[in-house]
Structure 1
Amino acid sequence: MVRISDRHIKSPAGPTTDGFGCPLKQLSINQALAGSDIAVFRKATSVMRLDQVKTSASDRGFVVGVSSLGGHTRRIYHQHHATNHDFTENSIYIRNLSEGYKADLSGPFDFLLLEISPASLIRIAEGAELPGVTSLAAETASKDIVLANLCRALTPALEKPEEASALFVDQMATAIGTYLVQRYGGRSIAASNRSRSLSRSHEQLAKSLLLENLDGNISISEVAKVCNLSRGYFIRAFRETTGMTPYQWLLSERVNRARELLRASNAPLAEVAIACGFADQSHFTRVFSSIAGLTPGNWRRNS
């Protein structure tokens, strides 16, 4: 799992704002992760009135913001007028970073931000079988519960990056990117009856690669490339073939291996956790309990 430092604007006195114009001194949460073609950030503050946010036009692509709080308002300044917007829980915005931005922000906020470069957007669209999508439609304070729920799944990875596998972050970034180009890319989705399942050889190859990287530190891109498939197609085909996403399948395999070790040895739980690709015993216990219905210790005693 790769954690990335937040981009910021430099001044002679050092960084004062992040890459989206937010004053760093007023942010209570400032987290970041690198996903497949998408940089993920979480920004939050309890300050009622922030310094004015202002960014210059750039070639960085698009930023998508998803609000997990209500009560935040923005007055956005356009060339000849200004508009006022109220953000509720699960409301979003989509902004083209090639356009300058200036806004007055009021009220606490907690946003998950997705930054997508122009080249990444093209790759995401091609993987979603929507070639030709090169932009996302602008949105401001509109509600999108589906996108909010997808993004919410990344919150634990932002809070505990040491427990987040590259496979999980990559898989979620692919799912989010696919949804964005389908919903906001301006292209209709053609129905297809084409089989989405993996061939037997691709299924065996993908599973072998995943098992060789039991800790999940292999990207969807790497596995899909070996199978000569796009990321989006690979995830859909893997799910149709196995009934699970690659990350869900790997978690299940980790727990199966843990069961074998718990049954056949007296190794400490911490050692079993590491041997099965978990970050530590606490991480192991949470995942094992959610799948097996018992803690590893109780499961060993009962078995």
Structure 2
Amino acid sequence: MPPAAQEAPASRQPDSAPKDTLGCMSSHLRRDQGLRANGVDIHRKTMDMHQLHHVETEASARGVLLGISMRDGHSRRILDGHRASCHDFDKGSIYIRSFSDRYRADIRRPFDFVLLEISPASLERAIEEKEGKRVGSLAYVAGVRDEVLLNLACALTPALEHPASASMLFVDQLSVAMTSYLVETYGGAAAAAPRTNRLLSRSHEARAKEMLRSKIEGSISITEIADACGLSRSYFIHAFRETTGYTPHQWLIAQRLEHARALLTDFDMPLADVAAACGFADQSHFTRVFAQHSGAPPGIWRRRMRIGS
């Protein structure tokens, strides 16, 4: 890689050129997808241009930004005062930075990032919920590979591609998991207390299931349920899975499908009405999920039931 001093200066766009909230020229982005889940803004941003260009954001109180590279071959030069550092990003490489610092970088090559903008309140809650000694802040890293965050980011991409049919419970569950993991892994050297088997009490299990059933379309957050049970969000997710064998989102999908199978025995009920009654975004979303879990689309499943009866 040639020294920074020998490179052409970063291209400058007119001040009036539209920029996104992270300082990129909007016209440079081939893909700019976004979701919001309980204090965390989630994006996927892709740029295919090879032209060197400059990004910049002023200091603010927006919290922390996590970026996860979804492909190989990106690099950037990060400017800090009179110093500069160069970082390469392959698939699974991450960066963590605080919005409290002014950020300037020269983008050298195309990129594809899943990004989480974690609000101060969301980060503080994750820090409060962490077992062991309190973490003061996150380490700032760039170009570090993290397979756990890559896998979680890959799980988020279908929701970013199809936000209308995305389960907000699922997105919220993943954002809590990623924020908790960040605090555990990049929050300093404090040792966490050993984990024991986590189980929900019968009353907490019943309350959580009742709340999930009452919002069968998934318009409920992990925070709402955890608060109702008086538990931390990360503890609730682990305890629910240990108790039921499912994550909250998996359990809710199972309930939707059970309800759908019961409604499908009414052979005159339109599939679109079944989909709406079971909390799916539309008939195509219902068909896709039903076929994935049942081995056949709902129409074929219903015909088999009719023949069997």
TM-score, structure 2 as length reference = 0.89
Question: How far, CA to CA, are the matches of 1:276 and 1:259 in structure 2?
Answer: 10
Deviation at 1:136, TM superposition (A): 1.1
Q: Does residue 65 of structure 1 match 2:70?
A: no
Q: Give the equivalent residue in structure 2 for 1:189.
A: 192
- CA deviations 1:191-244 (Å, max 9, x no partner) are 033x51111111111111111111001111111121122211111111111000
Question: How far, CA to CA, are the matches of 2:156 and 2:130 in structure 1?
Answer: 21
Q: Give the equivalent residue in structure 2 for 1:29.
A: 31
- Indicate if the aligned counterparts of 2:226 and 2:236 stay in contact, CA closer than 8 A: yes
- Indicate if the aligned counterparts of 1:121 and 1:135 stay in contact, CA closer than 8 A: no
CA 1:218–1:131 in 2, change beyond 3 Å: closer, same or farther?
Answer: farther
Q: Give the equivalent residue in structure 2 for 1:7.
A: none
Alignment of 1:80-99 (within 5 A): 80-99=82-101
Deviation at 1:83, TM superposition (A): 1.7
Partner of 1:30, secondary structure, is strand
CA 1:167–1:246 in 2, change beyond 3 Å: closer, same or farther?
Answer: same
- Kindly provide the amino acid, as one letter, of the partner of residue 143 in structure 2: A
Q: Which runs of 4+ in 1 moved over 6 A?
A: none
- Indicate if the aligned counterparts of 1:197 and 1:237 stay in contact, CA closer than 8 A: yes
- Indicate if the aligned counterparts of 2:133 and 2:191 stay in contact, CA closer than 8 A: no
Deviation at 1:130, TM superposition (A): 5.0
Alignment of 1:8-157 (within 5 A): 13=16, 16-129=18-131, 132-157=134-159
Q: Give the equivalent residue in structure 1 for 2:263.
A: 261
Deviation at 1:160, TM superposition (A): 1.3
Q: Which runs of 5+ in 2 are unaligned?
A: 1-13
Q: Give the equivalent residue in structure 2 for 1:244.
A: 246
- Indicate if the aligned counterparts of 2:263 and 2:274 stay in contact, CA closer than 8 A: yes
Partner of 1:33, secondary structure, is strand
Deviation at 1:131, TM superposition (A): 6.0
Question: How far, CA to CA, are the matches of 2:122 and 2:134 in structure 1?
Answer: 13
Question: How far, CA to CA, are the matches of 2:52 and 2:86 in structure 1?
Answer: 16
TM-score, structure 1 as length reference = 0.91
Partner of 1:154, secondary structure, is helix
Partner of 2:101, secondary structure, is coil
Deviation at 1:16, TM superposition (A): 2.0
Alignment partner for residue 272 of structure 1, among 255, 274, 288?
A: 274
- Indicate if the aligned counterparts of 1:26 and 1:50 stay in contact, CA closer than 8 A: no
Question: How far, CA to CA, are the matches of 1:279 and 1:129 in structure 2?
Answer: 37
- CA deviations 1:258-302 (Å, max 9, x no partner) are 111112332121111111110011111111111111111121122
- Kindly provide the amino acid, as one letter, of the partner of residue 242 in structure 1: T
- Indicate if the aligned counterparts of 1:125 and 1:131 stay in contact, CA closer than 8 A: no
- CA deviations 1:133-187 (Å, max 9, x no partner) are 2321111111111101101211111121111122111111111111111111113
Question: How far, CA to CA, are the matches of 1:129 and 1:98 in structure 2?
Answer: 26
Question: How far, CA to CA, are the matches of 1:28 and 1:172 in structure 2?
Answer: 25
- Kindly provide the amino acid, as one letter, of the partner of residue 112 in structure 1: V
Report the number of matched residues.
291
Alignment partner for residue 175 of structure 2, among 166, 170, 173?
A: 173
Q: Give the equivalent residue in structure 2 for 1:5.
A: none
Question: How far, CA to CA, are the matches of 1:65 and 1:106 in structure 2?
Answer: 16
Deviation at 1:55, TM superposition (A): 1.8
Q: Which runs of 5+ in 1 are unaligned?
A: 1-10
Q: Give the equivalent residue in structure 2 for 1:232.
A: 234
Q: Give the equivalent residue in structure 2 for 1:291.
A: 293
